[in-house]
Structure 1
């Protein structure tokens, strides 16, 4: 049997630690996807986070959680309420060394419980095309593709 996970509201210390890593990771994902150059990526990522979370972990309509299992933090998940009926998972990570243990699947199921308690009728998310592990998890959990962007590099 898998260990049960719990979602705990992020405190300000956890948020600052998360934010520092999230900006770097978000910038790197956009560079890898070909959306941004390396030179502009950190500034663009910082601006996006500042717009979305102007009050940090206390920004209204945003729920930032640390994911805990076995009395330790194993990841994080961020649910935003976009309307009375729709939510959006802005970020979701299981920390390195904790992956492949079922924590991600459990956390996604738990965030659905949170969404229902907030009155949401649906939750959307974005997955980068190169992230096959995440894409497969979301498909297994019943998420369907609603929009697909494709690109071909002509410089190769």
Structure 2
């Protein structure tokens, strides 16, 4: 396995954006943050706010994760401020999960982050995503906030 990150093409970005809006809305619903009604429009608005110029938005780096010619996923890194980056999204496409691509992609993100002068990377992970949480802990990420709720 040779994992590389390649800058997304415009076509790849459009495919990703359609997926990302739907996925983000569903994750927000699943975690209890949003109701079904209006979730897609909220997710679209959030993505438009964060990426006003799409893949050409300054200080945002959108990559297709590849294993040779095979597209296995995507990752979105942003240079926030004070030399701190933030991974807004990372996805390994269905059928490629559980093969080590996520771990290798995260290592590639760290290399790129250093190259662009970042000293730290943050990310958000939904509490119900135990697989991702475990991966990030293995890679040295530590929890900085924990939000807990109870339905009554």
Give TM-score scaled by structure 2 length.
0.99
1:87 to 69, 85, 88: 85
- Partner-residue secondary structure (3-state), 2:88: strand
Question: 1:84, 1:119 within 8 Å by CA — same for their partners in 2?
Answer: no
Which consecutive residues of structure 2, in runs of 5 or more, have no partner in the other structure? none
Counterpart-to-counterpart distance in 2, 1:84 and 1:61: 12
By how many angstroms is 1:4 displaced? Answer: 1.1
Q: Secondary structure at the match of 1:139?
A: helix
Instruction: Determine if the alignment matches structure 1 residue 77 to structure 2 residue 90.
Output: no
Q: Tell me the distance in 2 between the aligned counterparts of 1:40 and 1:148.
A: 26
Which residue number in structure 2 is paired with residue 13 of structure 1? 11
Matches for 1:4-153 after TM superposition, within 5 Å = 4-153=2-151
Deviation at 1:40, TM superposition (A): 1.5
What's the Cα RMSD here?
Answer: 0.6
Q: Which runs of 4+ in 1 moved over 6 A?
A: none
Shift of residue 63 of structure 1?
Answer: 0.1
- Deviation digits for residues 76-105 of structure 1, max 9, x if unmatched? 000000014100000000000001111100
How many residues end up aligned between the 2 structures?
152
